[in-house]
Amino acid sequence: METFDLSRRLAAESLGTGILVTTVVGSGIMAETLTKDVALALLCNTLPTGAILVVLITVLGPISGAHFNPAVTLVFTGRRELPVNEAALYVIAQIAGGIAGTIAAHLMFGLPLLDLSTKVRTGGAQWFAEAVAAFGLVATILGGIRFQRAAVPWLVGLYITAAYWFTASTSFANPAVAIARSLTNTFSGIRPADLPGFILAELCGAIAGMLLMNWLLGQTKARGPVPVAETRS
C-alpha cells in the first residue's frame, strides 16, 4: 500500500471532513427549501450523507485512512496505529475542514458565512443516542477492516444512513461535524451550548466500541487436528 507524507494526509482529512459537512449542511438547506415535511427533509438529508461517505472513504481512505472524525482518530490512537502527535494534527485538520465545509454550504445558498445555530439538541436521550451512534460506527469500521476491508466505504455509508433514523439524535457521531454544525442555523444545526454533551457522548461511545471490538476480534487459539473419533458418525 502506498504511503503518503503527513502534509498530504492532513490535507485529505481536512478535505474529506469539509466535503462531508458541506453535504450534510447543504442537503439540509436544500431539503428545507423544497419541503415543509420534516420526515421528507430528514430523508433528503440522510441519503446524500450516506452516499458521500462511500465516495470520500473510497477516494481518500488510501491517503489518510479517511477518519474525518476525532472520535475515530482517538480509536486508532488508542489502538497504537497512529502516533499521538499526528492524531492531534488530524483532529485540528478535521475541525478546520468541517468549519470550511459549513462556510462553503452557506456560500452556495447565499447565507451568512457563519451563523450560530439555535436548534436545541440536548438531554439524556440525545446523549445516549450519540453514544450509541459512535459505538456502532466504530464497531462497523473495526469489524469491516478485519473481515471486509474493501467494503468499509459501503459499510460506513450504510451504517450512517441507517443511524440517521434509528437514533434520536440523527447520528452526528462525530465531534468535528458537530462543531461545524453549530455554526449553521439551518436544518442540520445544533446549539453551541449543546456541543459538550454531544461530544462527550460521542467520545465515550467510540471508546466503548473500541474496547468491545478489541476483545471480540481478539485472536483465539487455533484448534488442533480433529480427533478421529469426532469424524465418525
pLDDT tens by residue, 8-44: 999 999 999 999 999 999 999 999 999 999 999 999 9
- From CA 122, how far away is CA 75, in angstroms rounded? 25
pLDDT of residue 1: 53
User: According to DSSP H, which parts of the chain are helical?
Assistant: 6-34, 38-64, 70-78, 84-108, 124-147, 152-166, 175-181, 195-216
pLDDT of residue 219: 63
Quote the pTM value: 0.92
Residue-wise over 23-39: b if at least 16 C-beta within 10 A, else e? bbbbbbbbbbeeeeeee
- From CA 1, how far away is CA 51, in angstroms rounded? 25
- Whether residue 230 is predicted with pLDDT greater than 60 in this model: the reply is no
